[in-house]
Amino acid sequence: MDISRIDLNLLVYLDVLLRERNVTKAANHLGITQPAMSNSLRRLRDLFSDPLLVRTSEGMTATERARELQPLVRAILADIEQAVQEKTPFEALDSQRVFRIMASDYAESCLMPRVLRRIRQEAPQVTLDVLTPSDVSFLDVEQGRLDMAINRFDKIPQSFHQKTLWIEYFACLLNARNPILKQPFTLDTYLDASHIWVSKTGFGVGVGVNPNDVQRLGWVDEALSRMGRKRRISVFTRHYQSAMLLAEQHDLIATLPSRAAWLQKDNANLVVKVPPFEIPPFELKMAWSPLLQHNPDHQWLRRLISDVAEEVDEEFAPFGARFESVNAPLAHQSER
């Protein structure tokens, strides 16, 4: 195929069509008429010899070929935007930029205070807007409305760039007067106790929890289920800070990421224990839109967050070593 004969604007139209899945919305987004958008869709179908979008009971649905094209087209457009964008260095000291970051409250507690401290040192006029997972969607990240998402992700769009900040293991947080501490902390004593469930990952608004739906309860309960065991959950919360407060005030066990437990290491009312069973670790990642990959402001932010994460990792290491599995993966930062 002779690429000089292809109207590259069609790729822009295709990108928006596959995001909106609606001809009218795509036309409004691009500032063109609906007939013009419909004509562009016809030309795209001819170009790729595929219907691309098919009307179903759920609206316009992307074909398999369209789903294959979407990350490729997004990457091509990001490269074109980078090629024509004027390069201006980021002047941290004078910048008044607002950075919007989605962070789970675990990441917000363990990482963001140090990130803010560093930003205040290097870019005192920069504003940080921290949002929760319930505030945003993958679309917000993809379109660059959100600068960064920091969380544990089960799934992430292929087009996103991402970097592992650290590998996290689990710890148990208990009231220092919890009666189970009078005996060895075994799996049986762990299961005899009452527990605090805490988790909120990914994006979107959360829903109520079914205590009997192990697959949706997360890593701790899935690990127990693989052994044919089950814990008694008395409290469900989506906030790690709340879980730590509840563990302090009641005879409950909070099983939570070890860096969250580390924040309570000087709290005389709490005791930190190694879980008496194997819980697979997870990765804390930051993810961002390909639209921002080459942006100097964003490059500065990524470097700052990565540097802070390394500092946290080094300071945490003496406390955290006991929680690591014998078959622990290497805890190094990686990016793609």
Task: Give the integer Cα–Cα distance in Å for 149 and 163.
Answer: 11
Supply the pLDDT for residue 329.
46
The first and second tokens of residue 59, run together, are 């609206």
Supply the pLDDT for residue 7.
83
How many CB atoms sit inside 10 A of residue 35's CB? 10
Supply the pLDDT for residue 57.
85
pTM assigned to the model = 0.70
Tens-place pLDDT, residues 251-284: 899 999 999 999 999 999 999 999 999 999 999 9
Supply the pLDDT for residue 216.
59
In contact, 307 and 176? CB cutoff 8 Å: no
Non-local (6+) Cβ contacts of 226 within 8 A are: none
Supply the pLDDT for residue 268.
93
Task: Give the integer Cα–Cα distance in Å for 80 and 93.
Answer: 30
In contact, 19 and 144? CB cutoff 8 Å: no
Checking if the pLDDT of 8 tops 90, the result is: no
3-state secondary structure the chain: CCHHHCCCHHHHHHHHHHHHCCHHHHHHHHCCCHHHHHHHHHHHHHHHCCCCEEEECCEEEECHHHHHHHHHHHHHHHHHHHHHCCCCCCCCCCCCCEEEEEECHHHHHHCHHHHHHHHHHHCCCCEEEEECHHHCCHHHHHCCCCCEEEECCCCCCCCCEEEEEEEECEEEEEECCCHHHHCCCCHHHHHHCEEEEECCCCCCCCCCCCCCCHHHHCHHHHHHHHCCCCCEEEEEECCHHHHHHHHHHCCEEEEEEHHHHHCCCCCCCEEEECCCCCCCCEEEEEEECHHHCCCHHHHHHHHHHHHHHHHHHHHHHHHHHHHCCCCCCCCCCEEC
Tens-place pLDDT, residues 109-134: 999 999 999 999 999 999 999 999 88
3-state secondary structure 129-190: EEECHHHCCHHHHHCCCCCEEEECCCCCCCCCEEEEEEEECEEEEEECCCHHHHCCCCHHHH
In contact, 13 and 30? CB cutoff 8 Å: yes
In contact, 119 and 304? CB cutoff 8 Å: yes
The first and second tokens of residue 119, run together, are 């930003």
Tell me which of 86-95, 190-199, 207-216, 229-238 is least confident: 207-216
Which of 115, 111, 106 minimizes the C-alpha distance to 260?
106
